[in-house]
Amino acid sequence: MSGPDRAAEGHRADLEEAAVRDRLDRVGRSVSYYRRPADGRRAAHPPHTRIGWTTGLALGLAVVLVIAMALLNLVTVDKVLYRPAGVHDTLGEIDGQPIVNVEGLETYETSGSLDFLTIIIDGGPRSDVTAWDWLLAELDPAVDVFDAADIYPPDVTAQEIQEENVQLMTQSQLGAAVVALRATGIEVPEEVKVGQIIKGAPAAEALEVDDQILSVDGTKIDNPEEVRVQLQEHEPGDAVSFTLLRDGEEIELDVPTGESDPDTLEPDAPPRTIIGVYLASDFDLPYEVTIDAGNVGGPSAGMMFSLAIYDKITPGPLTGGKRFAGTGTINSDGTVGGIGGIVQKMYAAERQGVDYFLAPAANCAQVVGRIPGDLEVIRIENFTQARDIVEALGEDEDITVPRCS
């Protein structure tokens, strides 16, 4: 074939191939085809968007979980949750201000720490608890779940709870100052009065707010705990003889009593004989002691406040530089009382790496079997015992400390 013939033949082939491509384009650009590479290798398969059954199942479960979480967050439950919260050194400061300050009395340098602990309470009148919150709380060993009715009286408001917590904190701080001052030999006079009468209380018709209690069954009263002790000499329903000072006049009354509700801290404890009032003490402090705990309320830091005040007004650091944490109410006679949220406070202390944790003897039932990690928990009944144990451990004395069992 001559050169012009071969050129013409090649030109026709190019025209035919162009015509084929043009027809394919007209049929539809969605049609794709793969040529075998010029080197003879097998052409790769095109990518595909099909989802495998395992991936589809995982995506389906994820969608179901998201929907379930959304629904659980829309449903509220009548529960109260106790969670661990903050740790504060009573020997230190909050917002740049010392927590404990004493004026008119010589104070001394301290070291180490005497921490008080707080908890977060979700639920009840102040906030809602969702079903999702409840589910997560049941799975968390650091959180306790209660029925709201077991924690709050019916119809109580958030404002009433706040006001009561502020009042209890004020009384706790005053009691701590009295105990610490008396522990150094300073005399602090005390008057026991009716601070508040609970609605429907057995003594509601007999007693009045600000009545000063002079004696019960002829026994002179020097602090509120003595009233409680005298009441336990009677059965619920008995009338008990009170001598009062009301509006400057001394009077005698037979005061009705009743039976206490079950104790949420000790549900198996026998009922107590009560009159249904909150007792308060008026003190004449010879020195000004102020405690600034920020926005913390309630009475549970009383013991730690008393230890901090004592540490500041006595020579030498009580802790020996070690870190102590603890909780418990304090009565003016030095008795340490039980509190709520002991488990959450132990978890807060353990997470902060404290050396020792001081727990009220009244909370032993909640402590046993719930101590987190290697936290060393010590059973405390009164201020004197707490002070002596802290001082001994601070000096590295080899002592046997009481524990809950």
pLDDT digits (tens, 9 = 90+) for 234-254: 999 999 999 999 999 999 999
The pLDDT confidence band at residue 7, using thresholds 50, 70 and 90, is very low
The pLDDT confidence band at residue 298, using thresholds 50, 70 and 90, is confident
- What residue type is 122 in one-letter code? D
Is 40 in a helix, a strand, or coil? Answer: coil
Neighbours of 367 (CB within 10 A): 20
Q: Which CATH class is domain 190-283?
A: mainly beta
d(C-alpha 331, C-alpha 92), whole Å? 23
What pairing do the DSSP bridges indicate for beta strands 277-283 and 329-330? unpaired
Select the more confidently predicted residue: 64 or 379. 379
**To the nearest 10°, the Cα dihedral for 223, 224, 226, 230?**
150
Note the pLDDT of residue 34: 41
d(C-alpha 120, C-alpha 133), whole Å? 13
Is residue 322 part of the annotated active site? The answer reads no
The pLDDT confidence band at residue 363, using thresholds 50, 70 and 90, is very high
d(C-alpha 36, C-alpha 162), whole Å? 81
Average pLDDT over residues 256-280: 85
Select the more confidently predicted residue: 172 or 20. 172
d(C-alpha 206, C-alpha 208), whole Å? 7
Would you state the structure tokens that stand for residue 372, as one six-digit string? 């987190």
pLDDT of 269 > 80? The answer is no
Average pLDDT over residues 394-398: 95
- What average pLDDT does the structure give for the chain? 86
Comparing CA positions, the residue from 151, 154, 153 lying closest to residue 119 is 151
Note the pLDDT of residue 72: 62
Note the pLDDT of residue 4: 46
Burial annotation 214-228 (CB, 10 A radius, 16+ → b, else e): bbbeeeebebbbbbb
CATH 3.30.230.10 intervals, the chain: 78-187+285-405
Note the pLDDT of residue 251: 97
- Please write the tens of the pLDDT for every residue from 200-212: 999 999 999 999 9
Per-range mean pLDDT, top range of 59-63, 160-164, 325-329: 325-329
Note the pLDDT of residue 171: 83
The pLDDT confidence band at residue 314, using thresholds 50, 70 and 90, is very high
- Please write the tens of the pLDDT for every residue from 133-145: 999 999 999 999 9
- Contact between residue 220 and residue 214 where contact means Cβ atoms under 8 Å apart: yes
- Contact between residue 221 and residue 215 where contact means Cβ atoms under 8 Å apart: yes
Regarding the domain delimited by 78-187+285-405, which CATH topology (the fold level of the hierarchy) does it fall under?
A: Ribosomal Protein S5; domain 2 (3.30.230)
CATH 2.30.42.10 intervals, the chain: 190-283
Per-range mean pLDDT, top range of 61-75, 109-123, 144-158: 109-123
Token pair 């540490």 is found at 311
Is residue 405 part of the annotated active site? The answer reads no
pLDDT of 18 > 80? The answer is no
Select the more confidently predicted residue: 15 or 295. 295
Catalytic one among 113, 300, 306, 332? 300
Q: At what angle do helices 302-313 and 158-183 cross, to 10 degrees?
A: 30
d(C-alpha 143, C-alpha 46), whole Å? 55
Would you state the structure tokens that stand for residue 52, as one six-digit string? 């495998």
CA distances from 124 to 76, 145, 155, 157, 325 (A): 11, 12, 10, 9, 28
Model confidence, pTM: 0.75
pLDDT of 366 > 90? The answer is yes
Average pLDDT over residues 324-334: 94
Lowest mean pLDDT among 1-15, 49-63, 246-260, 303-317: 1-15
